[in-house]
Amino acid sequence: MNQIKTVALLGLLSGILVGIGYWIGGTGGALIGLVIAAATNFFSWYSSDKIALAAYRAQPLRREQAPQIYEMVERLCRRADLPMPKLYVVPSQGANAFATGRDPNHAAVAVTQGIVNLLNEQELEGVLAHELSHVKNRDTLTQAVAATIAGAVTYFARVMQYGMIFGGSRSRDGGGNPIGLLFAIFLAPLAATIVQMAISRTREFEADAGAARMTGNPRALASALQKLQAGAQRMPLNANPSFEPLLIINSLSGQFMGNLFSTHPSTQIRIEKLLQIEQELGRRSAMPGSSGL
């Protein structure tokens, strides 16, 4: 269901892009804007690991520093049929984690020093499984596509705004519907941002479910999220807000304009969904012929 929702949201973003393109006369400027947006976001996607790791000052994590974490990740990778990612540690007491990289063969998983100190072994395994689920689902690619379309929408809106200021509307019908024009200039970029955030929240739900299946212990991740939420309010992990969607939990304390503009779903809802998965797994293990694993 979350996969279908993601595709639908990407389709909605594309629809916004097509709609705003309708109000621009000619295709030359639209094509240039789309190429610029695509090139910028492709570079961000291709170099996402280096950019994100540098933003959080992450350092390579050597096996001798954390053999337990290496063993956890190796075990989870075998279960998920994934190549071993590069591991990093962020020198911060803010408890968080993230995955980055353009595909499973170029992936990196980073944990903060704070999350290692805060969580027990099962909770930390749940967090690592969540990040590996992002890698397996290629969520960094999904986010790059969403960012490309949203960026193109914003570019088109600016072109139209400058057109109104310096020469009036350049739409094919000589002006177009003024209400539609205002929507294209002011509301379409806002709508694109909201849809982009919705895609990010959907991918978080999918990664939670993937982690629950990978570990067979949804309650451990639910417990970790509860601790991380409390920790984020006390000590947020500060960095460029552009990288907020990467983190396992929103690092900003408080709620900024509610959930509509949040990169992450409500922690309480995530916990409830994980506990529902736990019940489903329990029912399956209780069925006749089940191994109970």
Higher pLDDT pick, 8 / 253: 8
| pLDDT tops 60 at residue 5 | no
Whole-number pLDDT of residue 234: 84
Whole-number pLDDT of residue 169: 47
131 included as an active-site residue: yes
Average pLDDT over residues 149-174: 58
Beta-carbon contacts of residue 151 (< 8 Å; ≥ 6 apart): 37, 40, 41
Higher pLDDT pick, 281 / 286: 281
Whole-number pLDDT of residue 23: 56
Highest mean pLDDT among 22-26, 120-124, 177-181, 247-251: 120-124
Average pLDDT across the chain, whole number: 77
Whole-number pLDDT of residue 267: 92
> pLDDT tens across 227-284, in order?
999 988 888 887 666 677 788 998 654 444 455 557 788 899 999 999 999 999 886 6
> Of 71, 74, 123, 131, which is the active-site residue?
131
Whole-number pLDDT of residue 128: 98
